[in-house]
Amino acid sequence: MTRYIHPNAPISSTLLRVSAVLTVVDYFFVSHEELQSQVGKLILSIIILIGSAYLIRNGYNWIRWALSVLFLLGIIQEIMYLPATFHSGLITTGCFAILQSAIQITAVALLFFPYNIPATKSDEPKEITD
Protein backbone atom coordinates (compact mmCIF):
# COMPACT_ATOMS: atom_id res chain seq x y z
CA MET A 1 0.00 0.00 0.00
CA THR A 2 1.34 3.42 -0.96
CA ARG A 3 0.56 6.59 1.00
CA TYR A 4 1.47 10.15 0.13
CA ILE A 5 2.11 12.61 2.93
CA HIS A 6 0.36 15.94 2.46
CA PRO A 7 2.88 18.82 2.50
CA ASN A 8 1.01 20.45 5.41
CA ALA A 9 0.99 17.24 7.47
CA PRO A 10 3.99 18.13 9.69
CA ILE A 11 2.50 21.52 10.56
CA SER A 12 -0.94 20.03 11.23
CA SER A 13 0.56 17.26 13.35
CA THR A 14 2.55 19.77 15.39
CA LEU A 15 -0.54 21.92 15.96
CA LEU A 16 -2.45 18.91 17.28
CA ARG A 17 0.38 18.12 19.68
CA VAL A 18 0.37 21.74 20.88
CA SER A 19 -3.36 21.41 21.48
CA ALA A 20 -2.74 18.27 23.55
CA VAL A 21 -0.21 20.17 25.68
CA LEU A 22 -2.69 23.02 26.15
CA THR A 23 -5.28 20.46 27.26
CA VAL A 24 -2.94 19.27 30.01
CA VAL A 25 -2.02 22.84 31.02
CA ASP A 26 -5.68 23.80 31.18
CA TYR A 27 -6.50 20.76 33.27
CA PHE A 28 -3.73 21.08 35.85
CA PHE A 29 -3.25 24.83 36.16
CA VAL A 30 -6.45 26.57 35.16
CA SER A 31 -9.49 24.33 35.50
CA HIS A 32 -11.96 24.60 38.33
CA GLU A 33 -12.16 21.75 40.88
CA GLU A 34 -15.32 20.27 39.40
CA LEU A 35 -13.68 20.10 35.98
CA GLN A 36 -10.69 18.26 37.41
CA SER A 37 -12.92 15.31 38.28
CA GLN A 38 -13.22 14.50 34.57
CA VAL A 39 -9.96 12.57 34.22
CA GLY A 40 -11.43 10.12 31.69
CA LYS A 41 -12.36 12.94 29.33
CA LEU A 42 -8.86 14.39 29.64
CA ILE A 43 -7.16 11.08 28.87
CA LEU A 44 -9.45 10.38 25.91
CA SER A 45 -8.83 13.86 24.48
CA ILE A 46 -5.08 13.50 24.74
CA ILE A 47 -5.13 10.01 23.17
CA ILE A 48 -7.23 11.29 20.25
CA LEU A 49 -5.02 14.34 19.70
CA ILE A 50 -1.68 12.53 19.93
CA GLY A 51 -2.95 9.52 17.96
CA SER A 52 -4.31 11.78 15.22
CA ALA A 53 -1.02 13.68 15.07
CA TYR A 54 0.83 10.38 14.65
CA LEU A 55 -1.51 9.16 11.89
CA ILE A 56 -1.34 12.48 10.04
CA ARG A 57 2.45 12.53 10.15
CA ASN A 58 2.56 8.98 8.77
CA GLY A 59 0.37 9.79 5.76
CA TYR A 60 -2.99 8.26 6.61
CA ASN A 61 -5.43 10.32 4.56
CA TRP A 62 -8.64 9.03 6.19
CA ILE A 63 -7.78 10.69 9.51
CA ARG A 64 -8.55 14.16 8.15
CA TRP A 65 -12.17 13.11 7.59
CA ALA A 66 -12.44 11.51 11.01
CA LEU A 67 -10.98 14.64 12.62
CA SER A 68 -13.38 16.83 10.69
CA VAL A 69 -16.35 14.95 12.11
CA LEU A 70 -14.95 14.88 15.65
CA PHE A 71 -14.05 18.56 15.66
CA LEU A 72 -17.40 19.55 14.16
CA LEU A 73 -19.16 17.74 17.00
CA GLY A 74 -16.77 19.32 19.50
CA ILE A 75 -17.36 22.82 18.17
CA ILE A 76 -21.13 22.36 18.39
CA GLN A 77 -20.78 21.26 22.02
CA GLU A 78 -18.41 24.11 22.79
CA ILE A 79 -20.77 26.71 21.33
CA MET A 80 -23.51 25.40 23.62
CA TYR A 81 -21.42 25.33 26.82
CA LEU A 82 -19.04 28.27 26.34
CA PRO A 83 -21.48 30.97 27.52
CA ALA A 84 -22.13 28.99 30.72
CA THR A 85 -18.37 28.67 31.25
CA PHE A 86 -17.88 32.43 31.06
CA HIS A 87 -20.93 33.17 33.24
CA SER A 88 -19.69 30.83 35.98
CA GLY A 89 -16.45 32.80 36.31
CA LEU A 90 -14.19 30.34 34.49
CA ILE A 91 -12.85 32.95 32.09
CA THR A 92 -9.41 31.42 31.72
CA THR A 93 -10.88 27.99 31.00
CA GLY A 94 -13.13 29.53 28.34
CA CYS A 95 -10.19 31.32 26.76
CA PHE A 96 -8.19 28.08 26.70
CA ALA A 97 -11.15 26.33 25.04
CA ILE A 98 -11.35 28.99 22.34
CA LEU A 99 -7.58 28.84 21.76
CA GLN A 100 -7.60 25.04 21.52
CA SER A 101 -10.53 25.11 19.09
CA ALA A 102 -8.76 27.63 16.87
CA ILE A 103 -5.60 25.51 16.83
CA GLN A 104 -7.51 22.32 16.06
CA ILE A 105 -9.57 23.93 13.28
CA THR A 106 -6.37 25.28 11.74
CA ALA A 107 -4.74 21.84 11.93
CA VAL A 108 -7.66 20.16 10.17
CA ALA A 109 -8.07 22.94 7.60
CA LEU A 110 -4.40 22.66 6.60
CA LEU A 111 -5.00 19.05 5.58
CA PHE A 112 -7.73 20.09 3.14
CA PHE A 113 -5.78 22.85 1.38
CA PRO A 114 -4.91 21.64 -2.09
CA TYR A 115 -1.29 21.52 -3.06
CA ASN A 116 0.24 21.93 -6.47
CA ILE A 117 1.54 19.00 -8.44
CA PRO A 118 5.32 19.17 -8.11
CA ALA A 119 7.33 20.52 -11.02
CA THR A 120 10.37 18.37 -10.34
CA LYS A 121 10.97 14.93 -8.88
CA SER A 122 12.62 16.42 -5.76
CA ASP A 123 9.49 18.46 -4.95
CA GLU A 124 7.13 15.46 -4.92
CA PRO A 125 5.33 14.48 -1.74
CA LYS A 126 6.95 11.69 0.24
CA GLU A 127 5.80 8.21 -0.68
CA ILE A 128 5.51 5.59 2.03
CA THR A 129 5.13 1.91 1.30
CA ASP A 130 3.96 -0.65 3.82
Residue-by-residue DSSP string for 27-74: IIII--TTGGG-HHHHHHHHHHHHHHHHHHHTT-THHHHHHHHHHHHH
pTM of the model: 0.77
Please count the CA atoms within 13 angstroms of the CA of 93 that sit on its side-chain side: 21
Per-residue pLDDT of the chain (130 residues), as tens digits, is: 556 677 888 888 899 999 999 888 877 776 666 666 677 788 888 898 899 999 988 888 888 889 889 888 888 888 887 787 777 777 777 788 888 888 988 888 888 887 655 545 555 556 666 6
- The answer to whether residues 93 and 35 touch, using CB atoms and an 8 Å cutoff, is yes
pLDDT of residue 50: 93
- The answer to whether residues 127 and 3 touch, using CB atoms and an 8 Å cutoff, is yes
Rounded to the nearest 5°, which phi and psi values hold at 49? -65, -50
d(CA 105, CA 100): 9
pLDDT of residue 41: 80
pLDDT of residue 23: 85
- In the chain, domain spans: 2-113
For residue 8, the one-letter residue type is: N
